[in-house]
């Protein structure tokens, strides 16, 4: 077997060295009645070629984004990733290393985490960021728990434009910790969010920007009101590229910014692994969950990096930890930071501009179809339209004609009002021909 | 209030402050110093060529960002050099034996990487129409089938994004099942030898933790378990093999007694590598167990993630698995993604989308490569390798327990008594001999613990070299040659780092003009 | 000075008790990197958790040796937690409690009893 180096001769001599007669002796603590006497009714081992065939056959049953006109977003976005990103993350020293608990021989991972934290802080307009979370949705739930710890209050308000699955995750984790989430009514543009009622039990308001329907918001007035009520503003960003064009959450008064980092460097991957971004103000750093990398010096006075403030974590605090999380999303974090380094200021803002332009071009084409209404007046690279028919039906029909047209709001929300709403994303990977195809096919689907 | 730790005193470190930035004269052979991205890149430099925008009028108004962000960029050659130089400062499985106990640092097959990058897996969106991703759903179903068969369980929740996340998922399923029966049990039993995540998870699920004593091998003390078991107990969280590398012989008894009280058994599957294909947790009475795909099933650790932690569930817990649920109807796969969309008892949702697909592809590639026969061989070789290390070092180091072990060899620090060398020094000295240290000071119940998990992917030659190295270090310590321990590491890219300074005055990001 | 079996010391002046951790505790913890103190005004009962002291690898709770109201905290520890290592029984004090029930002092150990207690631990 190609992954197992021991030969039968090795096994025999090693058993002898250990002083037992058979491998069964080493499993002697396992009671007889629970030992599996034979192999399970499952296939036996396969060579590389056979495994490749098996998996390629499964892969071939899927319609990949690159083989269609692709406009799906709602929390995961398709961008071009430079070839060097994937090459670098496959370096053995990054791919096959563990969490950098031995800093002397982990400076590569640690320095890249320090650079990552800095980049996240810069684009979100916050003072500090952690070394990443599992994904955007769990980062969102953790942000709410953190706000409860800071304010010692127990209720969170979730905006109507928060991604449905993020809201579900936050609700699930809050409920079992004894906290309450108040979900505002679903609303495509988060109308009236700055006038919501806030009492002295509210720890935070969670608002997504741009929201799940694509609408870009100015949350500065909301931030003021939230702060007057002694609460925190949590801003969720599912498309970090938007920060290349839009004002940062920090600039608008956010206290905690969480996000999904997938769109830069990571790829779609059918939903995972992704990358949770988490940033906040310096004064809250000890309440922040997740790993943190910090700068220090070594015994010879040279600059170096270590994981720090680990007393917040579960392996030390056990039942008093800030969270049970003990991994970050290391390799995705590396992909993200490499992509960001290749972009730099110029590439990041330039790519953002191209994305916005793509969405403008597409929305104008679609909005001129009779019966299609643009619902989001201000957006980055994603917008919502209302169709004269249920969006899920239209999406299914267009899929057969080579257009993956977007996400029906009904996939995320159980609200009859939203049945005809379609969330559409456009990025730099789309061409004018694809915009034309989408317009033509949508026109046909609606008019038939 | 006291927790005793090995100390590194701030006074041992120079003040720092000046000339910390790596300089080219510090290059040594193939080991090159590398400044921060922020010290080499510039706002004008970029490694991508984008077309110019066409100048379509936008309607963003004052939502637009003003002024620069401050992001330095690198051209492609600069980026390659920056990250390749950084990579060379990391230890890795591909460089040598990585003996971290409880982490299962086995070989990461490259076929897995190749398969995960097929566009049919890597370039599909979690929310594209389900009829366009039938192959992906089938893959999840196939992996789920392997996991339930290997564990002897009824169902599997695939969405947890890491082991600890799986733990949370399993415990929430337990809580939901109990609440559905109208039970308000409040207590979770956790053995003293458990991973720190276990109590942290129990608390996050709204439970109180009741600690139970262990015997000298870290096994649950059956009489203490019985003393602590009452009608208030919702579950026990147990690790099997346990954190000392021992099989919990009484687990079936524990399970039947807790079941009789209306509670459940959560098993931490961190150590599944020792028993995969040999013992099925379902046959032991386990109700829920997470499986770290990045341990047992070889998906890469990636410098600390991403992991993946599917949770297998017993029949009693299966109805409470979180969303999404995957079902097969007339040859077509369908995801149930919303609670009120169908009549389900799911306890909720613990992450957006459907789980770590990229890790599922890798894990299935690994599983298919081994097959049922190969997986059993994995467990046998992992256990044999650990016992070989244990036996070969027992005359110079001190095994924490008598007898054989499962997949991990546990030593304590008695062999260092009176030498002036601590467990930490011993571990750091291993770095100078070309090895990553083993897990230290865990499990907490063993003094100065050193937990070695060689895994099945080490050859006998590799183990012999490792054994020789540890042997010579143990002898050097006993002979009083302690300077090499106290100074260690000297051959690594950095000597010991001042963690006290890092924690007292945290510098968590680069800032213009600060420090160096 | 009086002591607890959790290694806190108390110095009483009138109805005010100054509280810190003992030199033995500071030594065992190693380099202290952070001290979390309560808000002044908080009322505590004897043996309640009142502060947290952290080294790089450990976090330990500090318990109120006496019931009462926290009236003052040593804010300088925020900037200089190392004072706890340097002068645990002096400048490294944690907080002052206005004593609610002086009879609780009888539950505490004398200097001599505490020394014996510590010797018994090693």
DSSP of B458-502: --HHHHHHHHHHHHHHHHHHHTT--HHHHS--SSSSS--B-HHHH
A213 and A330, same domain (yes or no): yes
Return the pLDDT at B412: 96
Q: Is B5 within 8 Å of chain C by CB?
A: yes
| Pairing state between β C8-13 and C2-3 | antiparallel
The residue range of the domain holding A309 is 83-339
Size of interface B-C (CB pairs under 8 A): 54
Which residues in C lie closer than 8 A to residue A310 (C-beta atoms)? 56-57
Asked if B50 lies within 8 A of A107 by C-beta distance, the reply is no
Q: What is the least distance, in Å, from the CA of B423 to any CA of chain C?
A: 15
- Residues 93-122 in C contacting B (C-alpha not used; CB under 8 Å): none
CB contact under 8 Å between C82 and B10, yes or no, is yes
Contact by Cβ (8 Å): C86, B509: no
Instruction: Pick the residue from chain C with its C-alpha nearest to A319.
Output: C59
**Burial annotation A19-50 (CB, 10 A radius, 16+ → b, else e):** ebeebeebbebbbeebebeeebebbebbeeee
Cα-flanking dihedrals φ and ψ of residue A313, to 5°?
-95, 165
User: Which subunits count as partners of chain C given 3+ CB pairs below 8 Å?
Assistant: A, B
- The whole-number pLDDT of residue A413 equals 94
Residues A127 and A268 in one domain: yes
Q: What is the pLDDT of residue A314?
A: 60
Name the band, by pLDDT with cuts 50, 70 and 90, for residue B4.
very low
Nearest one of B296, B353, B286 to B323, comparing CA atoms: B353
Give the residue from A128, A135, A131, A139 showing the smallest Cα distance to A109. Answer: A131
Confidence of residue B444 (pLDDT cuts 50, 70, 90): confident
CB B165 within 8 A of CB B351: yes
User: Same domain, yes or no, for A202 and A247?
Assistant: yes
Chain B, 483 to 502: residues with Cβ < 8 Å from chain C are 499-500
Q: Are residues A120 and A259 in the same domain?
A: yes
Residue B311 pLDDT level (bands cut at 50, 70, 90): very high
Nearest Cα of chain C lies from the Cα of B13 at a distance, in angstroms, of 13
Q: Are residues A349 and A334 in the same domain?
A: no
Interchain pair C56, B500: CB under 8 A: yes
- Does residue A320 belong to the interface with chain C, where contact is any CB pair within 8 Å? yes
Number of domains in chain A: 2
Q: What angle do CA B222, B226, B227 make, to 5 degrees?
A: 115
CATH of residue A378's domain is 3.90.1150.10
- The residues in B 295-354 lying below 8 A from A, measured between CB atoms, are 298, 300-308, 322-323, 337-341, 347-354
pLDDT in tens, B213-225: 988 778 999 999 9
- Whichever domain contains A116, its CATH number is 3.40.640.10
First to last CA, chain A: 58
Q: Which of A307, A339, A371 is the last residue of a domain?
A: A339
Cα A336 to Cα A330: distance, rounded to the nearest angstrom = 10
Distance from CA of A320 to the nearest CA of C (A): 10
Please give the Cα distance from B452 to B455 (Å, whole number).
9
A21 touches chain B (CB under 8 A): no
* C20 close to B (CB below 8 A): no
Calpha distance C47→C71 (Å, rounded): 17
| Domains identified in chain C and CATH numbers | 2-100 (2.40.50.100)
| A136–B200 C-beta distance less than 8 A | no
What pLDDT sits at residue B55?
A: 85
The answer to whether A165 contacts chain B (CB < 8 Å) is: yes
Best CA proximity match to A368, nearest among A313, A440, A305, A296 = A440
Report the residue of B497, B505, B516 to disrupt the A interface, i.e. the one with the largest count of A CBs within 10 Å: B497
Where helices occur in A79-233 by DSSP H, the ranges are 83-89, 92-95, 107-124, 136-151, 164-176, 220-228
Percent of chain B with pLDDT over 70: 94
- Which tens digit of pLDDT belongs to each residue from B450-493? 999 999 999 999 999 999 999 999 999 999 999 999 999 999 99
Chain C interface includes A311 (CB < 8 A): yes
Buried b (16+ CB within 10 A) or exposed e, B322-346: bbbbbeeeeeebbbebbbeeeebeb
> Quick check: is A48 in a domain?
no
Q: Which of A286, A314, A339 is the last residue of a domain?
A: A339
What chains are in contact with A, requiring at least 3 Cβ pairs below 8 Å? B, C
Chain A hits for B86, CB-CB cut-off 8 Å, are 107-108, 111-112
**Residue B455 Rama label (left phi>0; alpha psi -120 to 50; beta):** left
Q: What is the mean pLDDT of residues B351-358?
A: 97
| CATH number at B372-492 | 3.90.1150.10
| Tokens encoding B262 | 């209306």
Subunit contact B90:A97, Cβ cutoff 8 A = yes
Considering only the beta carbons, identify the residue of A14, A64, A176 that sits closest to B384: A14
- Do A325 and A381 share a domain, yes or no? no
Q: Is B42 exposed, middle or buried (0-12, 13-18, 19+ CB in 10 A)?
A: middle
State chain A's maximal CA–CA distance in angstroms.
Answer: 83
Q: Pick from A339, A357, A375: which residue ends a domain?
A: A339
Model confidence over B254-300: pLDDT tens digits?
999 999 999 999 999 999 999 999 999 999 999 999 999 999 999 99
Q: Which C residues in the span 38-77 are in contact with A, Cβ-Cβ below 8 Å?
A: 54-59
DSSP state, A426? -
C70 touches chain B (CB under 8 A): no
Phi/psi at B202 (5° precision):
-55, -40
Domain co-membership, A295 together with A354: no
Q: Is residue A1 part of a domain?
A: no
Say whether both A278 and A405 belong to one domain: no
Per-residue confidence band for B7, with pLDDT thresholds at 50, 70 and 90: very low
Q: Note whether A167 and A260 are same-domain residues.
A: yes
A311 interaction partners in chain C (CB closer than 8 Å)? 34, 54-59
Q: What are the residue ranges spanned by the domains of chain B?
A: 111-366, 372-492
C-alpha span between B157 and A382 (Å, rounded): 31
Instruction: Name the minimum distance, in Å, from the CA of C102 to any CA of chain B.
Output: 24
On whether residue A399 sits in a domain, the answer given is: yes
Percent over 90 (pLDDT), chain B:
84
Res. B344 pLDDT band, cuts 50 70 90: confident
Q: Per the domain annotation, does A116 fall within a domain?
A: yes
> How many angstroms away from the CA of C101 is the closest CA of chain B?
24
CA A349/CA B169 separation, integer angstroms: 39
A188 in the same domain as A333: yes
Asked if A235 and A253 touch (Cβ cutoff 8 Å), the reply is: no
What per-residue confidence (pLDDT) applies to B204? 87
Return d(Cα C64, Cα C50) in angstroms, integer. 6
Interchain contact A315–C (C-beta under 8 A): no
DSSP B315-363: TTTGGGPPBPEEEEETTEEEEE--GGGTT-----BSSSTT--HHHHHHH
Do A356 and A309 belong together in one domain?
A: no
Same domain, A169 and A157: yes
Structure confidence at residue B24 as a pLDDT band (50, 70, 90): low
Chain C residues whose beta carbon lies within 8 Å of the beta carbon of residue A317: 59
Residues of chain B found within 8 Å of residue A42, distances taken between Cβ atoms: 146, 149-150, 371-372
Indicate the residue of A7, A47, A169 with minimum beta-carbon distance to B349: A169
Q: Output the pLDDT for position B57.
A: 81
Cβ proximity of A234 and A204 under 8 Å: yes
Q: What dotted CATH number matches B111-366?
A: 3.40.640.10
Average of per-residue pLDDT across C38-66: 91
| Cα-based distances in Å from A172 to A144, A178, B114, B177, B349 | 12, 10, 36, 15, 6
Q: Per the CB < 8 Å rule, is C28 touching B503?
A: no
The pLDDT assigned to A343 comes to: 98
The token pair that represents B422 in the structure block: 């601590």
CB contacts under 8 A, A 78-137 vs B, are: 78, 82, 84, 86, 88-100, 102-109, 111-112, 114-115, 117-119, 121-123, 127-129, 131-132, 134-137
**C42-63 average pLDDT score:** 90
For chain B, the average pLDDT equals 92
Angle (nearest 5°) at CA B380 between B374 and B386 = 135
**pLDDT exceeds 90 at position C18:** yes
State how far the alpha carbon of B495 is from the alpha carbons of A304, A328, B431, C30, in Å. 9, 25, 10, 20
Query: Quick one: CA dihedral A31, A37, A40, A45, positive or negative?
Result: positive
Q: Cβ contacts of residue A310 below 8 Å, gap of 6+?
A: A291, A292, A316, C56, C57
Candidates A306, A310, A311, partner chain C, best to mutate (most C CBs within 10 A): A311
- Cβ contact C54–A311 (<8 Å): yes
In a domain, A267, yes or no: yes
Ranges in chain A, pLDDT < 70: 313-322, 326, 448
> At A293, phi and psi to the nearest 5?
-105, 135
């Amino acid at each position: 077997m190609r992954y197992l180096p021991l030969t039968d001769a090795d096994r025999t001599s090693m058993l002898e060295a250990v002083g037992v007669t058979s491998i069964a002796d080493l499993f002697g603590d396992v009671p007889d009645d629970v030992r599996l006497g034979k192999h399970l009714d499952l296939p036996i081992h396969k060579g590389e070629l056979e495994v490749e065939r098996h998996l390629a056959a499964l892969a071939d049953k899927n319609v990949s984004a690159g083989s269609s006109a692709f406009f799906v977003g709602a929390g995961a976005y398709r961008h071009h990733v430079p070839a060097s990103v994937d090459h670098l993350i496959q370096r053995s020293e990054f791919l096959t290393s563990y969490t950098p608990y031995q800093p002397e021989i982990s400076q590569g991972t640690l320095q890249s985490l320090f650079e990552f934290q800095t980049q996240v802080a810069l684009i979100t307009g916050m003072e500090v960021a952690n070394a990443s979370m599992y994904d955007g949705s769990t980062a969102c739930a953790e942000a709410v728990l953190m706000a409860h710890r800071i304010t010692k209050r127990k209720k969170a308000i979730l905006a109507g434009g928060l991604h449905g699955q993020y809201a579900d995750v936050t609700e699930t984790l809050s409920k079992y910790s004894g906290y309450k989430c108040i979900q505002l009514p679903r609303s495509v543009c988060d109308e009236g969010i700055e006038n919501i009622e806030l009492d002295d039990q509210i720890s935070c308001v969670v608002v997504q920007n741009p929201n799940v329907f694509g609408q870009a918001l100015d949350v500065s007035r909301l931030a003021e009101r939230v702060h007057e009520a002694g609460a925190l503003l949590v801003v969720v960003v599912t498309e970090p590229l938007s920060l290349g064009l839009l004002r940062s959450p920090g600039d608008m008064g956010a206290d905690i910014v969480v996000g999904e980092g997938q769109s830069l460097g990571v790829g779609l991957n059918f939903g995972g692994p992704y990358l949770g971004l988490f940033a906040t103000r310096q004064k809250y750093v000890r309440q922040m969950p997740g790993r943190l990398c910090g700068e220090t010096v070594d015994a010879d006075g040279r600059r170096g990096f270590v994981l720090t403030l680990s007393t917040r974590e579960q392996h030390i605090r056990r039942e008093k930890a800030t969270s049970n999380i003990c991994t970050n999303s290391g390799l995705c974090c590396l992909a993200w930071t490499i992509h960001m380094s290749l972009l730099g200021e110029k590439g990041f803002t330039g790519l953002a501009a191209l994305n916005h332009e793509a969405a403008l071009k597409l929305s104008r084409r679609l909005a001129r179809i009779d019966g299609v209404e643009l619902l989001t007046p201000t957006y980055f690279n994603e917008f919502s339209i209302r169709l004269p028919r249920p969006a899920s039906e239209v999406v299914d029909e267009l899929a057969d004609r080579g257009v993956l047209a977007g996400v029906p709001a009904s996939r995320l929300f159980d609200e009859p009002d939203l049945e005809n709403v379609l969330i559409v994303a456009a990025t730099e990977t789309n061409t004018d021909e694809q915009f034309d195809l989408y317009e033509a096919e949508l026109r046909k689907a609606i008019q038939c | 209030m006291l927790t005793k730790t090995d100390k590194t005193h701030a006074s041992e470190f120079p003040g720092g402050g000046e000339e910390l930035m790596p300089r080219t004269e510090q290059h040594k052979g193939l080991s090159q110093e590398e400044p921060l991205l922020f010290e080499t890149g510039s706002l004008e430099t970029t490694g991508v060529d984008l077309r110019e925008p066409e100048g379509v009028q936008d309607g963003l108004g004052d939502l637009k960002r003003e002024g620069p962000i401050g992001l330095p960029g690198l051209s492609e050659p600069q980026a390659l050099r920056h990250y390749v130089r950084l990579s060379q400062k990391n230890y890795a499985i591909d460089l040598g034996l990585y003996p971290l106990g409880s982490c299962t640092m086995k070989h990461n097959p490259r076929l897995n990487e190749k398969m995960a990058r097929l566009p049919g897996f890597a370039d599909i969106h979690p929310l594209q129409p389900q009829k366009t991703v039938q192959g992906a759903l089938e893959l999840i179903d196939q992996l789920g089938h392997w996991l339930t068969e290997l564990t002897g369980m009824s169902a599997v929740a695939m969405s947890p994004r890491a082991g600890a996340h799986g733990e949370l998922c399993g415990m929430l399923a337990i809580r939901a099942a109990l609440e559905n029966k109208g039970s308000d049990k409040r207590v979770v039993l956790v053995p003293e030898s458990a991973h720190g995540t276990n109590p942290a998870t129990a608390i996050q699920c709204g439970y109180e933790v009741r600690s139970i004593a262990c015997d000298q091998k870290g096994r649950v003390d059956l009489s203490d378990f019985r003393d602590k078991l009452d009608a208030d107990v919702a579950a026990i969280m147990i690790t099997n093999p346990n954190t000392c590398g021992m099989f919990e012989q009484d687990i079936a008894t524990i399970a039947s007694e807790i079941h009789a009280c209306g509670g459940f058994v959560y098993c931490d599957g961190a150590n599944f590598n020792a028993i995969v294909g040999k013992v099925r947790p379902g046959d032991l009475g386990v109700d829920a167990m997470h499986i770290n795909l990045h341990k047992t099933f070889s998906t890469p650790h990636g410098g600390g993630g991403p992991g993946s932690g599917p949770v297998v569930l017993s029949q009693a817990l299966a109805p409470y698995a979180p969303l999404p649920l995957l079902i097969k109807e007339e040859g077509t796969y369908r995801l149930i993604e919303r609670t009120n969309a169908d009549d389900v008892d799911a306890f909720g949702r613990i992450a957006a989308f459907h789980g770590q697909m990229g890790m599922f592809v890798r894990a299935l590639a690994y599983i298919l490569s081994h097959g049922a026969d190969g997986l059993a061989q994995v467990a046998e070789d992992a256990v044999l390798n650990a016992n070989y290390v244990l036996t070969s070092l027992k005359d110079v180091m001190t095994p924490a327990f008598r007898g054989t072990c499962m997949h991990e060899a546990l030593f304590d620090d008695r062999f260092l008594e009176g030498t002036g060398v601590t467990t930490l020094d011993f571990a750091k000295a291993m770095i100078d001999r070309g090895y990553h240290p083993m897990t230290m000071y865990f499990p907490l119940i063993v003094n100065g613990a050193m937990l070695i998990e060689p895994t099945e992917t080490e050859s006998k030659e590799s183990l012999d070299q490792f054994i020789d190295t540890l042997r010579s270090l143990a002898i050097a310590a006993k002979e009083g040659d302690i300077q090499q321990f106290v100074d260690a590491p000297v051959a690594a890219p950095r000597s010991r780092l001042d963690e006290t300074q890092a924690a007292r005055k945290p510098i968590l990001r680069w800032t213009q003009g600060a420090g160096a | 000075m009086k002591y607890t079996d959790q290694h806190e010391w108390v110095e009483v002046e009138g109805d005010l008790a100054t509280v810190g951790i003992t030199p033995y505790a500071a030594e065992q913890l190693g380099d202290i990197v952070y001290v979390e103190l309560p808000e002044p005004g908080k009322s505590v009962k004897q043996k309640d958790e009142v502060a947290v002291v952290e080294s790089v690898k450990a976090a330990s709770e500090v318990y109120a040796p006496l019931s009462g109201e926290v009236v003052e905290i040593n804010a300088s520890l925020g900037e200089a937690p190392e004072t706890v290592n340097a002068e645990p029984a002096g400048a490294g004090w944690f907080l002052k409690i206005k004593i609610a029930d002086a009879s609780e002092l009888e539950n505490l150990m004398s200097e001599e009893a505490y020394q014996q207690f510590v010797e018994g631990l090693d």
